[in-house]
Structure 1
Amino acid sequence: MQLAHRPEMQIIVSNTTEVGIQLVEESIEGRVPASFPGKLLAFLYERYKAFSGSADSGMVIVPTELIVDNGKKLAGIVKQLANFNKMEDAFLTWMDGQCRWCSSLVDRIVPGKPDAATLQQLERDLGYKDDLLSISEVYRLWAIEGDEKVKKVLSFAGADAGVIIAPDIEIYRELKLRLLNGTHTLSCGLAVLAGFPTVKSAMDDPAFSAFVSDLMLKEIAPNIPYELSLSEARDFGLKVLDRFRNPHIQHQWISITMQYSSKIRMRVVPVLLKHYQPEPPPHIVLGFAAYLLFMRGQSGPVTDDRAAYFKDLWQNEPDVVVKTALSDQGLWGADLTEVPGFEEAVRKNLDVLMNKGAAAALAQLNTKK
């Protein structure tokens, strides 16, 4: 709150994961708010008072959570919370007019701290010890939606061609969200069930590599819910496949399963609903079946807000699990049992996964292809 009084403070960047950008109706007076939007509102109100609502005291706010229109969504939640706290209209006008709420997306695979042996070798090569050393791929993109004022404030963009500030970043978001994140999401549970610890180890397996490639290029790319050419989607997808094969990146599949359910809803369901073929997409079907089985909690730790829901649901027979989960509009924003043939296809794939294993499910898929 003291920082709100400092004029040199201009930028707020958030990375709270998808579950952090949500409305919690709470008072911000006399206490530390529980939610991130609550904390942000308290900070902005303090700044508004400290500078008497001046035009140059507005903040540039850049959320990086993987949510569609994350800047607009965060602004809407903070405004709702301001109304809940009965804040004055002049403050709301200042937030709308003087603050910039910039939707953004980050695209870079960052596995994090290397294993002990790699870290030791890197420190020998570097000649110093670094307790915060982190591994990432060379490719990077930070696309930020903003006007000339945003460009001026975010002057660091000029130091790196990987930072793009533009009035519309939707095409970057859709390509990344669907082809990279969507493929990761539909592959992670299956990879864990198949015994692959990392993305690279799975890409070294011909059957799994074929699954990832066909999922991305044949099922997701043609059905991205955005107006772009198939060649643009395929070009981006081929680059993503190269990134997945990077021998220097040890990206753990189990870490990709974090908040699995919300990722399926945001990254996968829009693609599934756009798929107008007579038959349900087989690779998406298998990925969805693997998700349901992973959520039973017997293949690895489940770090998901819906973990308890699925723990209870898996007290039932698999057919009941499939029907109940797919029809739950609270999970997906739609009844997925209404997608022609999807429920039956997921049920059959789940049966193969449970009784024959992931390798058999992949082999069966490749045989059909």
Structure 2
Amino acid sequence: MPAQVGRPVYVRAATRIGVVHFGPGAFHRAHQAAYFDDLLAIDPDWAICAVSLHNPGVRDALQPQDGLYTLALLEETVRLRVVGAIREVLCAPQQRKAVMARLVDPQVRLVTLTITEKGYCLSGDGLDAAHPDIARDLVSPEQPISAIGWLVAGLRERRARRLSPYTVLSCDNLADNGGRLRRAVLDYARRIDRGLAAWIESEVSFPRSMVDSITPATDDALRTRVASALGVADAWPVQREPYSQWVVEDDFRHGRPPLERVGVVFSGEIAGYDRAKLRLLNGPHSALAYLGSLLGLDTVARAMRDPALAGFVERLMREDIVPTLALPAGFDAQAYVDAILSRFRNPAIRHLLSQIAWDGSQKIPVRLLGTIADALAAGHDIDRLCLPVAGWLHFVARQARSGEALVDPLQAPLLEAGRRATGDAAHDVETFLRLQPVFGALAGDARFVEALRGAYATLAPGDAAAVALALAAAQGPQP
């Protein structure tokens, strides 16, 4: 291959499989597998057996390539590297014995998962015992089809063989992912074997984690680019932005990979990292989505090329959001803001504002309203924080007036409120604030209501000219 293409710097044949991973989709292969690829140059005991729970597509693509694939790091000049961390690829429905053999292999000390929230078969904070996959596994636990069923089947067999259990690490973007997975596993185990459940409760750890890296789907353009650069075909390359973050709770019982040597942060304050990401990354993302859409912009990178909008977002982060956060020990908030702003400006990532704008009724409360509530409690000004919330209201009203789609679980009441909007700030804000699932107790806080009315009026009538003037005014005097 060309010299500029990165490749494994270790002898693959000398590595040993120490990790079983359920759900080897694009994010795992672009994120965790890349960390393990770096680690194998230091410690050969942590190669990966990748297991698909349903579809053989990943296995069928990677097996003829010996598990090798290309990772493209998207920036102005795209960088390519070949990742060799995946030594084995299996499809659980078709290779049950092989999957179980890996789960009971004493060399395997870690099982990781990226199966999306749906794959955990949760209901509220616990297991959904009525889920078809769980109901079926409870009848035939020795032939599991769900991720929970496989985890428990492997642990049951290890207990029977008097082997130490593996650590179970969720890598999905799910609040309290380790805690929720632990509760689901224990609930399932109690239904089939209370002794096994007691053993899991005392012996098995389920660390919490936080992951972050934008990973666009593989497309034909990537396949063509990779084939041209490598001189060989790759059936399933993956791509992501250069930035990557992985924070893991340091709760491993029977040995853990020394991932801190390749950039992973081990911390007991995962909730603090989650909160920082939610408020400093996702909150400004929503601000860009709604204010940028009203300006007629289409992507995050293009929105960041608007000086007024970019300046507003940066000031929002540094002066309004950071002061409200209880940050983990050693967390450099300003460096984190710098990294986020660089990510937002990356021209190689085409992140559509229209997509970020989806599901505002679910996103706004956790991304922005929580910050506003904390700022009010601390006696801070909230005028700038209210501008993106008002932008969302104008965005909804615009969609309602134009008859365009609004992707949101509260679509009907939102569009009704949007259709009733007259342009009068007091009337329109009062109408939207009746959406109790969104605004909760803040709807009764006079300080918030006044600030939101002011922001809404500043943006009226919600066209590009009004938004541009509002952003200029929101900058105010520089400190």
| Same fold (TM > 0.5) | yes
Corresponding residue for residue 240 of structure 2 = 136
Match among 196, 220, 242 for residue 342 of structure 2: 242
**2:210 alignment partner, SS class:** strand
- 8 Å CA contact 1:22–1:77 kept in 2: the answer is no
Change beyond 3 A, Cα 1:71–1:329: farther
**1:285 alignment partner, SS class:** helix
Deviations 1:158-188 (A, max 9, x none): 7x72323344444433333321222213322
Change beyond 3 A, Cα 1:173–1:150: farther
- 8 Å CA contact 1:67–1:266 kept in 2: the answer is no
Decide which moves more: 18-27 or 188-197.
18-27
Change beyond 3 A, Cα 1:110–1:320: farther
Residue identity over aligned pairs, in percent, reads 25
Report whether the alignment pairs 1:60 with 2:160. no
Change beyond 3 A, Cα 1:240–1:128: same
CA distance in 1, matches of 2:119, 2:445: 27
Corresponding residue for residue 315 of structure 2 = 214
Match among 88, 99, 120 for residue 204 of structure 2: 99
**2:136 alignment partner, SS class:** coil
**2:286 alignment partner, SS class:** helix
CA distance in 2, matches of 1:32, 1:359: 60
CA distance in 1, matches of 2:405, 2:250: 39
Corresponding residue for residue 109 of structure 1 = 214
Corresponding residue for residue 125 of structure 1 = 229
Q: Map of 1:173-322 to 2, 5 A cutoff?
A: 173-226=274-327, 232-276=332-376, 280-295=381-396, 297=399, 302-317=406-421, 322=429
CA distance in 2, matches of 1:77, 1:327: 36
Change beyond 3 A, Cα 1:221–1:51: same
CA distance in 2, matches of 1:233, 1:362: 28
Change beyond 3 A, Cα 1:186–1:311: same
Which has more radius of gyration?
2
Unaligned runs of 5+ in 1: none
CA distance in 1, matches of 2:181, 2:412: 27
- 8 Å CA contact 1:111–1:252 kept in 2: the answer is no
Match among 105, 129, 140 for residue 26 of structure 1: 129
How far 1:198 sits from its partner (Å)? 1.5
> Amino acid of the residue matched to residue 129 of structure 2?
E
Report whether the alignment pairs 1:342 with 2:448. yes
CA distance in 2, matches of 1:367, 1:215: 13
Match among 27, 47, 50 for residue 154 of structure 2: 47
Deviations 1:17-58 (A, max 9, x none): 59976436433333699xxxx944433443344445666464
CA distance in 1, matches of 2:279, 2:118: 16
CA distance in 2, matches of 1:94, 1:304: 43
- 8 Å CA contact 1:225–1:271 kept in 2: the answer is no
How far 1:109 sits from its partner (Å)? 2.8
Match among 11, 14, 19 for residue 111 of structure 2: 11
**2:409 alignment partner, SS class:** coil
CA distance in 2, matches of 1:107, 1:58: 28
CA distance in 2, matches of 1:168, 1:227: 6
CA distance in 1, matches of 2:243, 2:199: 38
Change beyond 3 A, Cα 1:7–1:303: farther
How far 1:139 sits from its partner (Å)? 2.1
Between Structure 1 and Structure 2, the one with more strand by share is 2
The count of corresponding residues between Structure 1 and Structure 2 is: 357
CA distance in 1, matches of 2:213, 2:176: 19
Unaligned runs of 5+ in 2: 1-91, 140-144
Change beyond 3 A, Cα 1:280–1:75: farther
How far 1:367 sits from its partner (Å)? 2.0
The two structures, once aligned, show a CA RMSD in angstroms of 3.8
Decide which moves more: 255-264 or 244-253.
255-264
Deviations 1:193-213 (A, max 9, x none): 222221111111111111211
CA distance in 2, matches of 1:55, 1:324: 63
Change beyond 3 A, Cα 1:346–1:99: same
Change beyond 3 A, Cα 1:169–1:315: same
How far 1:122 sits from its partner (Å)? 5.3
